[in-house]
């Protein structure tokens, strides 16, 4: 799955460009940098793939989603609908800009559903932070209908779904702003990095300022730049951007190979009783970084996990018990264990996080097992993997059918 599988001479060349000049900072120093602008070039490559009018590279996917929320006008005291299945950075971003997370149901796309969003809306709802999970995409037609009818701000966390799309529009570009992650485990990596995208110039300018201590980046003297807004340091370095630049160029080829390999496994595993697959809102837009299997129910999935581990089959996640991606294990959020007081602790949480009732989400995540798809798999390797998965599932569900 990750772009790190293909790390090579092109990445080294771009890194060496930066090292040769010694200019690791993304702004200024024009005379010394030998016309190398890796962050700018990285942003250009992201725009080529997604069609976004504006892209801004930052230090991580986490800072990118936090900036996207802030630049879109969401802040202290605003209720924001979020999914209970996501990397926890999404929820942290909402909390640390002072907003109040409201958890809603997902569906078999592994993303928030239109019905889930609708049921979670209150008079205080300001926006929705929609997460496109596991390389796929949410069902955007029905979701946008709810967003527009209720005049909500949509911000998209597509950290796991760079280069995925829905009916021709790339994830991250349906709402006010979106974000991608380029950490070590994504389809393209910068080592650490993230990119905010938007088609709205005002939102882009706010993000540009907000992510660099309020600098407006006008003129040629950084020390004399104006500061339209308060901001903080979410900058990416030229070294990280250099890696992200090359990796982003690789994405079309990675995605093509991912999709071939994923379909091969689907064809093989479809022959096994008890296995089904997560629903793709638009199969043509899949970045195919994950193969998402559904077992008949939670207990069957747990037994399958045990069998997979016994058979030394790796490369999968059982999110239901995952500490970082599913709300069941987020005790520090449920109990609001913080280093310093957050606005939510003063304003009050909009839900009882310890006693949330999300039965659809529990059902979906309980039966879900995800395998990362590698662009380097050979056909014999995939056939062997499918055989092992099939055997483990068959053994795991046998008690149910007995």
Q: Which CATH number goes with the domain that contains 143?
A: 3.40.640.10
Confidence label for 231 from pLDDT (cuts 50, 70 and 90): very high
Is residue 169 predicted with pLDDT exceeding 80?
A: yes
**Pair 244, 255 in one domain:** no
Confidence label for 398 from pLDDT (cuts 50, 70 and 90): confident
**Pair 292, 159 in one domain:** no
Confidence label for 1 from pLDDT (cuts 50, 70 and 90): low
What pLDDT is attached to residue 243?
97
**Pair 160, 230 in one domain:** yes
Q: Report the pLDDT averaged over residues 102-131.
A: 98
Q: Which residues does 384 contact at the CB level (< 8 Å), separation at least 6?
A: none
Q: Report the pLDDT averaged over residues 94-108.
A: 98
**Pair 121, 243 in one domain:** yes
**Pair 216, 318 in one domain:** no
Q: Which range is least confidently modeled, 68-72, 120-124, 182-186, 398-402?
A: 398-402
* pLDDT digits 0-9 by tens, 281-312: 999 999 999 999 999 999 999 999 999 999 99
How far is the C-alpha of 156 from the C-alpha of 69, rounded, in Å? 9
In a domain, 35, yes or no: yes
In a domain, 367, yes or no: yes
**Pair 78, 130 in one domain:** yes
Last residue of a domain, one of 250, 268, 290: 250
What pLDDT is attached to residue 138?
98
**Pair 150, 261 in one domain:** no
**Pair 73, 202 in one domain:** yes
Number of structural domains, the chain? 2
Q: What are phi and psi of 378, to 5 degrees?
A: -95, 165
Measured between alpha carbons, how far is residue 274 from residues 24, 269, 295, 317, 392 in Å?
Answer: 52, 10, 6, 18, 11
What pLDDT is attached to residue 254?
96
Q: Report the pLDDT averaged over residues 153-158.
A: 98
**Pair 186, 47 in one domain:** yes
Q: Report the pLDDT averaged over residues 229-239.
A: 97
Mean pLDDT of the chain: 96
In a domain, 312, yes or no: yes
**Pair 306, 162 in one domain:** no
**Pair 115, 13 in one domain:** yes
Is residue 401 predicted with pLDDT exceeding 60?
A: no
Is residue 389 predicted with pLDDT exceeding 70?
A: yes
Is residue 184 predicted with pLDDT exceeding 90?
A: yes
What pLDDT is attached to residue 285?
98
The domain containing residue 74 runs over which residues? 3-250
In a domain, 297, yes or no: yes
pTM for this entry = 0.96
**Pair 383, 238 in one domain:** no
Tokens matching residue 236: 């990416």
In a domain, 356, yes or no: no
In a domain, 366, yes or no: yes
Confidence label for 241 from pLDDT (cuts 50, 70 and 90): very high
Note whether 126 and 218 are within 8 A (CB).
no
In a domain, 351, yes or no: no
What pLDDT is attached to residue 2?
73
Quote the percentage of the chain above a pLDDT of 70.
99
Quote the percentage of the chain above a pLDDT of 90.
97
What pLDDT is attached to residue 399?
58
* pLDDT digits 0-9 by tens, 326-368: 999 999 999 999 999 999 999 999 999 999 999 999 999 999 9
Last residue of a domain, one of 250, 276, 308: 250
Last residue of a domain, one of 216, 250, 284: 250
Confidence label for 4 from pLDDT (cuts 50, 70 and 90): confident
Is residue 402 predicted with pLDDT exceeding 60?
A: no
In a domain, 353, yes or no: no
Note whether 98 and 342 are within 8 A (CB).
yes
């Amino acid at each position: 799955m990750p772009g790190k599988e293909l790390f090579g001479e092109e990445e080294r060349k771009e890194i060496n460009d930066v090292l040769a000049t010694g200019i690791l900072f993304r702004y200024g120093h024009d005379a010394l940098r030998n016309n190398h602008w890796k962050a700018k070039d990285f942003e250009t490559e992201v725009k080529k793939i997604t069609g976004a009018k504006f892209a801004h590279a930052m230090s991580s996917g986490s800072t990118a989603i936090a900036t996207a929320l802030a630049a879109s006008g969401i802040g202290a005291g605003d209720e924001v609908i979020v999914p209970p299945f996501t990397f926890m950075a999404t929820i942290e971003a909402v909390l640390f800009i002072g907003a109040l997370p409201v958890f809603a149901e997902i569906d078999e796309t592994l993303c928030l559903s239109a019905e889930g969003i609708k049921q979670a809306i209150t008079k205080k709802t300001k926006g929705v932070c929609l997460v496109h999970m596991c390389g796929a995409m949410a069902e955007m037609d029905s979701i946008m209908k709810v967003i527009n009818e209720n005049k909500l701000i949509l911000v998209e966390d597509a950290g796991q779904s760079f280069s995925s799309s829905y009916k021709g529009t790339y994830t991250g570009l349906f709402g006010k702003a979106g974000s991608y992650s380029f950490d070590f485990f994504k389809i393209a990596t910068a080592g650490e990095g993230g990119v905010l995208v938007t088609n709205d110039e005002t939102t882009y300018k706010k993000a540009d300022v907000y992510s660099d201590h309020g600098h407006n980046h006008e003129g040629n003297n950084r020390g004399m730049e104006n500061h339209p807004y308060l901001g903080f340091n979410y900058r990416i370095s030229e070294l990280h951007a250099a890696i992200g630049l090359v990796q982003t160029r690789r994405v079309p080829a990675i995605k093509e190979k991912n999709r071939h390999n994923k379909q091969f496994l689907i064809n093989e595993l479809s022959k096994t009783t008890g296995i089904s697959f997560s629903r793709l809102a638009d199969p043509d837009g899949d970045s195919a970084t994950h193969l998402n299997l559904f077992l008949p129910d939670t207990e069957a999935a747990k037994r399958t996990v045990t069998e997979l581990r016994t058979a030394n089959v790796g490369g999968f996640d059982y999110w239901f018990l995952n500490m970082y991606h599913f709300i069941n294990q987020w005790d520090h959020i449920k109990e609001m264990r913080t280093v310093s007081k957050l606005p939510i602790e003063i304003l009050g949480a909009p839900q009882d996080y310890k006693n949330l009732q999300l039965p659809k989400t529990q059902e979906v995540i309980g039966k879900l097992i995800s395998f990362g798809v590698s662009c380097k798999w050979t056909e014999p390797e995939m056939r062997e993997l499918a055989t092992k998965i099939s055997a483990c599932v068959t053994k795991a569900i046998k008690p149910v059918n007995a």
